[in-house]
Structure 1
Amino acid sequence: MNTQQQNLTIEQALGQANAHWNAGQADQAERLCQQVLVQWPGQTDALHLMGLMAHAYGNLDLAIDHLRRACLAPRAPAIYLSNLAEMCRQGGHLADAEIAARRAVAMDNSLVAGWNNLGIILQEAGKLEESLTCLERVVALQPDYAEAHNNLGNTLKRLGRLDEARQGYEQALALAPTYAEGLSNLSNLLNDLGQPDEALAMARRAIDANPRLSDAYINAAAVEVARDRYVEALRWVDGLLVHAPIHVGALGVRATILRRLGRLDEALADARRAVAASPDNGEAQNILGEVLQAQDKADEAMAAFDRAAASIGFAPEKALVNRGILLMEQGDRDGAKAAFDQVLAQFPRSASAWFNLADLHRFTPGDPGIATMEALIRTGGVQSHADRAALHFALGKAWMDAGDPERAFTYLAEGNRQKRATFAYDPDAIDQWIANIIAAFPAALIDRPATAVPGSDLPVFVLGMPRSGTTLIEQILASHPAIAGAGELATLQNLVHQAGGYPALASALIPENEAMLGRHYLDAVTPLAGNHRRLVDKMPSNFLFAGLIHRILPEARIIHVRRDPADTCLSCYTKLFTREQLFSYDQVELARFHRGYERLMEHWRAVLPADRFIEVHYEDVVTDIKAQARRLTDFCGLDWSPACLDFHQTARTIRTASINQARTPLYASSIGRWRAYAPYLGPLLEGLGIDAQAPVAPAAKRGKKPVVAL
């Protein structure tokens, strides 16, 4: 340090330090601040500037330390406390942030930055009404403050007041059209409102305005995830991770995408990286729990959900719902109900809790739960498109329970309409695709000698239409001591995707690559079997690949589950699926898809060998379970086990749309159930070629005794 600098007064040194900092000369600014602190340890202004510099260069912990020390002085300006609050917020120290922000506005009631920071902190802490009051004060004090309108929009969105939130974002963008954060937040809101194309366009605009804005990439990925377009979603997330390799949000979204793709080991690695980067992040803990749950590590998953439930902000609601779903999968209905009741006690507007609770609960006329859900979809209730759709399905189920099908189908029709509006679906293209599959797997290809694949007798594929009884068949088989139930595996679909277009890949099949695909499949699923001789892969949509299965796994067994078409389609139409079932949300399209499925199964029935492919009728299982269970175990090459008859008592994880029915005693009245709702199924029945006025076939009158069925 030169002599001239050493002779500066503290006031002069601070003035020059600020000038150097504003000119981008950080080294000179820091030297002058350190000179001041040598002469006056704890000098407030020098510490504050050192904190700002540390923050600018990414050293948040050092920045917070400098600011804390700066604010120890009795006369520290309110803006210093406000800046400390913001840095504590960024560091995840919300309690400390709130204390500092409240001190700031208490010192200076007109400090716009202080009220703004306090509003954001309270928002993240889940204290939304207080946050709203703060941010409304900010826009009153400074109406042309674009960031404040954006922040107000964020709080309104979290309050569920989406229309008002949109006004906040649009006001922010009217003041600053290239304001990247405002564009990104509006993208997120439009996605919630069920406008994915507009949402993606807004996210792109945000990235153009600020290519390093992390949230914009995450929001773009969220749009694609909501449309089940996982490859596109991964591109957005991977683009962000290039310049932010340990971004907690990006790692979490990537883990979620990989989980949905069935790439669980990769998903777990990303989830653990997210948690390691931010152990107190509740959302990261939720995502870790969801991946562990998918790996059937229930205890570890529950521990992660418990950590998320104890966090600050909005993760606790999701964590409590996740706990309920996990308990439901484990067969603990009472525990699951208690978990969802706990969610609703804390978060009475939780559509996810109501949706899951409705599946566990048997509603009766006058049930207060119905009135509560109906209130949530009225004006002033929940506005998220996904939440509203879920509540409509829950209300449809509730009114069916309560014996009012007209009301039930009013809600179901609207719920299906809302869901159908969120994605593109081309039934003509699906018809052509099914025709292409049939053409690609002629009898000559199926009959061609296959290369032996050691261990290919391990898998048993249970397939068919969703809601046709595939879970029932898996549960019967998995009750056998020699059979493991693996649930709905995405393994085969992933292999097909990696191998090239389907069914075009059929033309390239030769014994060598058939065997290679079979080995890849077995490498992935064999660890799931443990010491069992057979492993059930119960992905219903594998019916599309039955011919391919026989080629790559020549000793594998395929069980096609058939159920009355109208009963199957009714069950699909009344269910909001968590997996991609795009055909099921319109009665005409649903009937058309079922006809295509029947054409394909007719083909497989004709070309696949009888010792590798059988069909089981759901109705036969319901009315004579013992005979059908023996038939199934014989087909699997196993000795009979009476445990198969007590399948509903088998303790195992069940993760399908039939999760609750799998353990619930029902009656054979599930056969022909559609007839009670025929007046509301006109387009579906017409599409299926069913005359609702035709006499009931004798088979539909079988089985008056109580049974356990799906």
Structure 2
Amino acid sequence: MEEARRAFAGGDLATAERICSQVLARTADDGPAWALLTETALQRGRPDAAIVCANRAVALMPKDPIALVLRAKCLFVSGDTRGAFEAAEAAGKVIGDAPEALDALGAIFGLLGLHQRAKEFFLRAVAARPDVPQYLFNLAANERMIGALAGAEAHCDAAIARDRHYGLAHYLRSDLRTQSAERNHIEEMEALIREGKLAAPSEVMLRFALGKECEDLDLHERAFEHVDAGCALQHRSTAYDHAAEIAEIDRIIASHTRSWIAAAPRGYSAAAPVFVAGLPRTGTTLVERIIASHPAMSSAGETSAFAAEMSRAMKTTSTDLAELGRRYVDAVTALRLPPDVRFVDKTLQNYLYGGLIHAALPAARIVLVQRHPLDACWAIYKAHFRGKFSFSYHQVELAEYYLAYRRLSRHWRATLPPNVLLEINYEDIVRDQSAASQRLISFVGLPWDDEVLRFHESPAPSATASAVQVRRPIYSSSVGKWRHHAERLAPLRARLAREIPEAELM
């Protein structure tokens, strides 16, 4: 099993699985083998196989915290939020002092959106082993979400002091504040790259971190060079079917028509959630924080619950839309929200499900956030999404996905009733925060409250890429940033210009 764990740690899933199979052929009740097979199944994206293995591991090792944590993770991945929470709570009762288990349980509570609870376990892991960079980084990432930015920077510094090549810690640290000429990490990171000892994933993270810090200092040409190099490295290492993703959007447009929605059985109308969706880095977190700052609203964060429940429903012989809507609401409110409260779900890719959301939850409201095409695409291009939005690392692929999203937005505009869908531009919010906020609050059916203008004072956690920015008042410096790179973004602009009027690209 030690050999199997080493193979798994090195990314050799096949060898790890082969050894586990050999062990189980001799001893079918070897709990650690079942636990490791759970991890390999999760890595391969096979949640059904993972939960079978996890259940065997827990049955054989009912007081083993790692087995319980793995079961919680499987349940979370499969969309069973309540079950995942119960498994995590069970793990917490037997967790002990092993830092590996403490760190893993903290990660599960983080996935569940219980960030203060997660922090308890991350702190204990760091206290037990302050020399392990991963534990320091996980604590720093948690602190970023809850707004403890000074602590996050200190723990990133500590992680990097123990491992100079820890790319994730460099990337997180760069985002915690606006860098200045007096306080930045540009020379440190560029020196690391020049040494040529970085693994490709770490260099990718440093390149994006450098892009951010150079842009903070108005070193725009240098910023683009690092971003472009990071995108090229990431694109080469990403297995991504660009055409299939575009085709999926076009299938949605073709099938989820106005007549399809009209003919759909009535959904679950007892809840009226608000969905804020849109491409990343376009202002969705800002919109979510504005709405969620109203005293009558709560934020569920980015849940992915609708997609999970939809996937679960599609495995049955018939899709009951009312049951889909009810299960979605139950999944979102299971842990973080009191029953019957109105909430905001800011899962970005819910833009794919506008028709299904309206059919399953007829009282729901959907806000689609839009941004200037080139500002949106530059903001996406210069960010790293850690396994999501694979279209973002190549200028032409990014342009084509943006155009597909634009087609889908037009489709929802023509298909969904005006009292169900609101499109709002990021630039309009920056230009007149009060007017845009009043429009949002009116659309979701709430009376005006001045609290929404102080959204940046909210202590609520944020797990999004904009978790730092939304703790500041609205600022306009992000408008027009693409202009610094107009010449080098020529491939992107040329592809957009084939379908977008020139006036919109100015």
Q: TM-score normalised by the shorter chain: which range applies?
A: 0.7 to 0.9
- Give the equivalent residue in structure 2 for 1:521: 328
Query: Which one is further off, 649-658 or 419-428?
Result: 419-428
CA offset digits 1:280-300 (Å, max 9, x no partner): 211211122223334454443
In structure 1, C-alpha distance between the alignment counterparts of 2:501 and 2:307, rounded to whole Å? 41
Q: Per-residue CA shift, 1:146-183, capped at 9, x if unaligned?
A: xxxxxxxxxxxxxxxxxxxxxxxxxxxxxxxxxx7546
Cα distance, 1:256 vs structure 2: 3.9
Aligned: 1:318 with 2:318: no
Q: Determine if the alignment matches structure 1 residue 397 to structure 2 residue 178.
A: no
Shift of residue 311 of structure 1?
1.9
Counterpart position of 2:256: 441
| Equivalent position to 1:335, from 151, 158, 173 | 151
Distance 1:560 1:382, change over 3 A: same
The correspondence for 2:346, drawn from 515, 523, 538, is 538
Greater CA radius of gyration, 1 or 2?
1
In the alignment, structure 2 segments of 5+ residues that lack a partner are none
Show the counterpart of 1:265.
Answer: 82
**Matched residue, 2:97:** 280
Q: Determine if contact 1:264/1:294 at 8 Å carries over to the other structure.
A: no
* Partner SS for 1:437: helix
- Residues 181 and 206 of structure 1 are in contact (CA less than 8 Å); yes or no, is this contact kept in structure 2? no
Evaluate the alpha carbon distance shift between residue 471 and residue 454 of structure 1 in structure 2; reply closer, same or farther with a 3 A threshold: same
Q: Structure 2: how far apart are the matches of 1:449 and 1:695?
A: 39
Question: Does the CA contact (< 8 Å) of 2:69 and 2:108 recur in 1?
Answer: no
1:414 CA drift (Å):
3.2
1:611 Cα shift? 1.1
Does residue 495 (structure 1) correspond to residue 316 (structure 2)? The answer is no
CA distance in 2 between counterparts of 1:225 and 1:245 reads 20
Distance 1:464 1:447, change over 3 A: same
Alignment of 1:210-609 (within 5 A): 210-211=23-24, 230=47, 234=51, 237=54, 248-259=65-76, 263-274=80-91, 276-277=93-94, 279-312=96-129, 316-364=132-180, 369-379=185-195, 381-383=197-199, 385-448=200-263, 451=266, 453-456=268-271, 458-500=272-314, 513-526=320-333, 528-530=336-338, 534-578=342-386, 580-609=388-417
Tell whether 2:6 aligns with 1:185.
yes
Secondary structure of the 1:477 match is helix
**Cα RMSD between the aligned structures?**
3.4
Counterpart amino acid of residue 474 in structure 1 = E
| Residue 430 of structure 1, CA deviation | 1.6
Q: Residues of 2 paired with 1:365 and 1:679: CA distance?
A: 26
1:374 is aligned with what amino acid? E
Is contact 1:217–1:236 with CA below 8 Å preserved after alignment? yes
**Whole-Å Cα distance in 1 between the matches of residues 301 and 228 of structure 2?**
30
Alignment CA distance shift 1:232-1:580 (3 Å): farther
Q: Report the Cα distance in structure 2 between the residues aligned to 1:450 and 1:229, rounded to whole angstroms.
A: 32
Tell me if the contact between 1:343 and 1:350 (Cα under 8 Å) persists in the aligned partners: yes
Higher relative contact order (CA 8 A, sep 6+): 2
Task: Map Cα deviations across residues 24-74 of structure 1 (whole Å, 9 max, x no partner).
Answer: xxxxxxxxxxxxxxxxxxxxxxxxxxxxxxxxxxxxxxxxxxxxxxxxxxx
Q: 2:486 aligns to what SS in structure 1?
A: helix
Deviates more, 1:286-295 or 1:586-595: 286-295
> Would the alpha carbon gap of residues 414 and 245 (structure 1) be closer, same or farther in structure 2, given more than 3 Å must change?
farther
Who is 2:492 aligned against?
684
Matched length: 501
Q: What is the alpha-carbon distance in structure 2 between the residues aligned to residue 240 and residue 205 of structure 1?
A: 17
Mapped contact 1:282–1:312 kept (Cα < 8 A): yes
- Matched residue type, 1:324: A
User: For residues 373 and 222 of structure 1, what CA distance do their matches in structure 2 show?
Assistant: 33
- Structure 1 distance, partners of 2:219, 2:501, is 21
1:644 to 419, 442, 452: 452
Letter in 1 for 2:239: A
> In structure 2, what residue type is equivalent to 1:681?
L
User: Separation in 2 of the partners of 1:230 and 1:401?
Assistant: 41
Contact 1:248 1:284 in 2 (8 A): yes
CA distance in 1, matches of 2:89, 2:73: 12
**Partners of 1:591 and 1:684 within 8 A in 2:** yes
**Alignment check: 8 A CA contact 1:184 1:206 kept:** no
Q: 1:318 to 1:188 in 2, by over 3 A?
A: closer
Q: Secondary structure of 2:294's match? A: coil
Q: Percent identity?
A: 34
Asked if the contact 1:455–1:522 (Cα under 8 Å) also holds between the matched residues in 2, the reply is no
Other-structure match for 2:483 = 675
1:250 Cα deviation after fit: 4.3
Q: Identify the residue that residue 419 of structure 2 maps to in structure 1.
A: 611
CA distance in 1, matches of 2:172, 2:312: 34
Amino acid of the structure 1 residue aligned with 2:290: I
Distance 1:495 1:264, change over 3 A: closer
Q: In the alignment, residue 387 of structure 1 is paired with which amino acid?
A: S
Residues 45-194 of structure 1 correspond to what in structure 2 (within 5 A)? Answer: 181-182=2-3, 185-189=6-10, 191=11
Give the structure-2-normalised TM-score: 0.87
**CA 1:417–1:214: 2 relative to 1, 3 Å:** farther
Per-residue displacement from partner, 1:461-490 (whole Å, max 9, x unpaired)? 111111111101011101111111111112
